[in-house]
Amino acid sequence: MMKWYFTEYGQSLSAFDPDARNLKQSDVVQGNGVYKGNEPAVARFAFLYNDYCRIKRLKFKGTQNTAIPFEGSNSTAWNKFLSESNPLMKPALGQLATTKFF
């Protein structure tokens, strides 16, 4: 996934999206100049992994719609992540994990 986003994404999708470009590290850590925690970057990586699985048409177990399920799943990884996150960041993490950021 990392290799694909950082070196192959722009070329792979340029036919469908003329603005497609490879991901840069600065895209993932955007906004960390003000907030020094790792929660925004983790949420962005959750988006990247879910989007990668969607684009590659990978199959998921059970009834979940994404590789990293956010709600309605037996998996509690996302909920555990939220419970351990900074309370001031929690409201923004769901949007960061589900919205394209680059």
Global confidence as pTM: 0.85
Which residue is listed with tokens 């900074």?
86
pLDDT of residue 66: 84
pLDDT at position 74 is 61
| Size of the chain in residues | 102
Report how far residue 12's alpha carbon sits from residue 63's, in angstroms, rounded to the nearest whole number. Answer: 29
Show Cβ contacts of residue 100 under 8 Å, excluding neighbours closer than 6 positions: 47, 51
For residues 53 and 30, the model is more confident at: 53
Q: Sketch the domain layout of the chain as residue ranges.
A: 2-10+21-98
pLDDT digits (tens, 9 = 90+) for 26-35: 999 887 777 8
pLDDT class for 24, splitting at 50, 70, 90? Answer: very high
Whether 11 shows a pLDDT value over 90: the answer reads: yes
Average pLDDT over residues 69-93: 83
pLDDT at 75 over 70: no
- How far is CA 68 from its chain centroid? 9
Is the CB of residue 23 less than 8 Å from the CB of residue 5? yes
